[in-house]
Amino acid sequence: MALDLMKASVMELAKANPSGISNSDAAKYLGLQSDYGGGSKDYLSYSIIGLLMKEGRLMRNQGRKHVPSGE
């Protein structure tokens, strides 16, 4: 249930931004930023974006931003 809510939140953010969103946008605006002190950060939002791409709900545009794919 939590995963579905996070995916829905990322989709709503993408729909509200016609030029697309980046991983850092999703992490920042949805409060998913990592507090980890190392170099690997914000994998949760990246994983959600990856799942949505695999499902065909998001695609990456030429500007390297993620946009809804005709949902």
What is the pLDDT at residue 39?
Answer: 65
pLDDT above 70: percentage of residues in the chain: 92
Task: Answer yes or no: pTM beyond 0.85.
Answer: yes
The pLDDT, as a whole number, for residue 35 is 77
Q: Which amino acid is at 48?
A: I
In whole angstroms, what is the distance from residue 18 CA to residue 15 CA?
6
Q: Which domain holds residue 38?
A: 2-68
* Total domains, the chain: 1
Q: Determine the longest span between alpha carbons in the chain, in angstroms.
A: 37
pLDDT of 39-67, one tens digit each? 667 788 999 999 999 999 999 999 899 99
Report the distance separating Cα 49 and Cα 65, nearest Å: 11
Tell me the H-state helices in the chain.
2-15, 23-29, 43-54
Q: What is the CATH number of the domain that holds 25?
A: 1.10.10
